[in-house]
Structures are given as structure tokens and as C-alpha cells.
Amino acid sequence: MSLLVPPRRPSQEILDDTDLAPNEMARSLKDLELVNTALGSARLLGERMAGRIRLDGGSRATILDVGAGSASVARQLEGRLERQGLTARVIATDLQWRHLAVGRAGGGREFPCVAADVFSLPFPERSVDWVVSTLLVHHFSPEENVRMLRELARVARSGVLLLDLQRHRLPLLFIWLAGRMAFKSRVSVEDGAASVRQAYTREEAQAFVSRAIPGARVERVFPFRLLISNP
């Protein structure tokens, strides 16, 4: 392995702590919104999804955003698809209801929010068109990701799009330098570094993705991210 790619170091991120102070939690979720907006997460997911929706001969889609946090990406994704003439119904899920509540308290678009375990979603088979996520995969071990991907594929009719980090020393350095200036929460700096350290390389991710969903693939997207897609 390259010297620029350190060994994977799993850890528990502070934002996942249910005892984290509400004000610190809200600031860290706002920092995550900043990151996803800067990286164009909703734009990328929308671009990949819109063409397929039209190819399938439709103009509307039901989208399940898992591990949605404050649901900022879900809101942006819904808006982007609507501006392209598509009707999107988004459902946001997160293990912690209070993460979802932060997003609702912030105003803006309202849509269904469900506190749910990503390994056992309270939805029937093929009950939504698309399942998406951002910055979720790195939280789990390869075996857990196999279980999660199979569960997501169970409820998705059209496809799965999961966007996450790629482990590398350059984004780690960027977080330590730029994060200290841009983030409003100390949690975000520590969790950002932890996220990169426990993220996967494309080859590592492809190994468990292929076990979970035959035919699914992992590709690198700029900057230092991975996109898991099926089909």
C-alpha cells in the first residue's frame, strides 16, 4: 500500500455519542452540511439519478436517504431534481432522531423523517425507488457493510447510490488545516480526521460491495471520494 494511504483505523466518532451536548451536536451537523455543500454531494447524486429516472420512462421518484443526519443533503437533492423537471419524494432516516430534529428546527423543506436502524429498515421490499447516503459507509466494518448493503438493496427498486470518503493522507491533512478554520465545532475537526482514517480505498470497498450486491461497483470521484452504485 502507498505511503500516502495509511492503514485503516476504526473508531467511534463523537457525533454518534447520544450524550453529546445538543448545542455541540447542532454545530457539528451544520459543519457536515457545509462539507456536503462544498463537495457538491447532492449535485453528484442528482446527476447520477436523473438520467436513470428518465431512462426508466418516469418523471418522479421516491428516495430514501439513510444516515441522513440533519437531512441537509436530502433537501438539496429534492430541490435539484425538481429543478430538472422531476418530482422527488424524499424520506430521511437516521439512527438518532435528534439529528433529524436539528434539520426540522432549521426550517426549509419538510418531508417524512424516520428514526431507523440502517441494518433493519422499517420498509417493505422494493418500497422506494432509490436509496442514497453520504458519509455513512466508513462508520462500519466490511462485514457490517455487507449486511447494510443487502438491506438497502432489499428496499430499493431502481438502485443504490452511496457516497463516502476515500482514505488518503491528503484529505487528512486538509481537515487538520482547513477544518480548524472553517468548522464551528471542535467535534467536526476530530470526527473529520477519524472519518478519513477509517474510510476505505476503492479496492477495499469493492471487495465487500461485490459480496453484498453482485454487479455493483465502486468508483473514485473528485476529490478523494468513493461512489458505490447499483446498477
How does DSSP assign 178-201, residue by residue?
A: IIHHH-S-HHHHHHHHHHHHT-B-
Mean pLDDT of 108-125: 91
Q: 162 with 227: CB under 8 angstroms? A: yes
Q: Does position 1 have pLDDT exceeding 70, yes or no?
A: no
Q: Does position 111 have pLDDT exceeding 90, yes or no?
A: no
**155-192 per-position pLDDT tens digit:** 999 999 999 999 999 999 999 998 889 999 999 999 99
CA geometry: angle at 209 spanning 44 and 132, to 5°? Answer: 35
Strand 225-230 vs strand 217-221: parallel, antiparallel, or unpaired?
antiparallel
* Separation between Cα atoms, residue 146 and residue 207, nearest integer Å: 10
CATH class label, 14-230 = alpha beta
Higher-pLDDT residue of 105, 131: 131
Give residue limits of the domains in the chain.
14-230
Q: Does position 109 have pLDDT exceeding 80, yes or no?
A: no
Owner of C-alpha cell 428514526:
115
pLDDT at position 230 is 93
Amino acid at the residue 39? L
C-alpha pair distances (Å), 199 with each of 2, 125, 136, 196: 15, 29, 10, 5
Mean pLDDT of the residues in the chain:
94
* Separation between Cα atoms, residue 38 and residue 32, nearest integer Å: 10
Centre a 10 Å sphere on the Cβ of residue 202 and count the other Cβ atoms it contains: 17
Looking at residue 67, what DSSP letter applies? T
pLDDT at position 231 is 84
The percent of residues in the chain predicted with pLDDT above 90, rounded, is 87
Q: Does position 128 have pLDDT exceeding 90, yes or no?
A: yes
CA neighbor of 117 nearest in space, from 75, 66, 162? 66
Amino acid at the residue 198? Q
Mean pLDDT of 72-89: 92
Mean pLDDT of 17-40: 96
pLDDT at position 53 is 87
CA neighbor of 29 nearest in space, from 12, 16, 39? 16
Q: 92 with 118: CB under 8 angstroms? A: no
